Amino acid sequence: MKLILGSASPRRRELIAQLGLTPADVRAPDIDETPVKGESARDYVARMAREKAAALPCAADEVILCADTTVACGRRILGKPADEKEAAEFLWLLSGRRHHVLTAVAVRSAQGLRERLVDSVVKFRPLSNEDVNGYLASREWEGKAGGYAIQGMAGAFIPWIQGSFTGIVGLPLAETAVLLRAAGVRT
C-alpha cells in the first residue's frame, strides 16, 4: 500500500518519518475549515480530519492519512491566528491556564475510513509582556493552532502536559501507527 500524506504540514511529514515512513505523495486538501456555529472543538476537529480525507482521490493501492489539530480553551476554538494581534490574544488567553489540544486522525483506503481523536491537556505558566512580545517577534506562531508550537520556543511556557506530545505537535504517532497498520501500511 502506498502512503499518501494529506497535509502540506512540514511537521506532519517529520513526524511520519519518525515511524520510518516516507509518503509516496503529498496531497494537500482544499476544504473550508470554518467551524459550524455551536460546534464543539471535538466535533470540529474530527469533522475536519474526515473532510480532508474525503476530499482527496484514493486509488485502490493507496492509504490517505489526514489530520487536524485545534486548541480549545474552555468552549472557544483557537485555530491558526489570522495575524499578530490574534496571536497575542491567544497567548494571553492561555497564560497561566490549562487547555486542550485536540488532534483528529483520519486514515482512508479502499476498505473504508478509520479515525481516532487524541485529547491532550497543556498547562501554560503565567506569561509576562516580555514572553508574549518576544514570542510574537519570533513569528513562530504563524500557521500554528492556538498560536504556538510546543516543539519550539513556546516549550519554555509549558511546565506540564498530559497526553500525547506528538499529538500536540500535530500527529499522535502511537495512534497513527495503529491506524496505518490496520489499513495495510507497515510501520
68 is an active site residue? yes
Q: Do 107 and 65 contact (CB within 8 A), yes or no?
A: yes
Q: Do 149 and 80 contact (CB within 8 A), yes or no?
A: no
Buried b (16+ CB within 10 A) or exposed e, 100-125: bbbbbbbbbbeeebbbbbbbbebebe
Catalytic-labelled residue, pool 32, 68, 83, 131? 68
In sequence order, what are the residues at sequence separation of 6 or more whose Cβ sits closer than 8 angstroms to the Cβ of residue 25?
Answer: 2, 4, 5
**Residue in the structure block whose three cell numbers are 505537535:** 169
SS3 per-residue string spanning 6-73? CCCCHHHHHHHHHCCCCCCEECCCCCCCCCCCCCCHHHHHHHHHHHHHHHCCCCCCEEEEEEEEEEEE
Query: Residues with catalytic annotation?
Result: 68
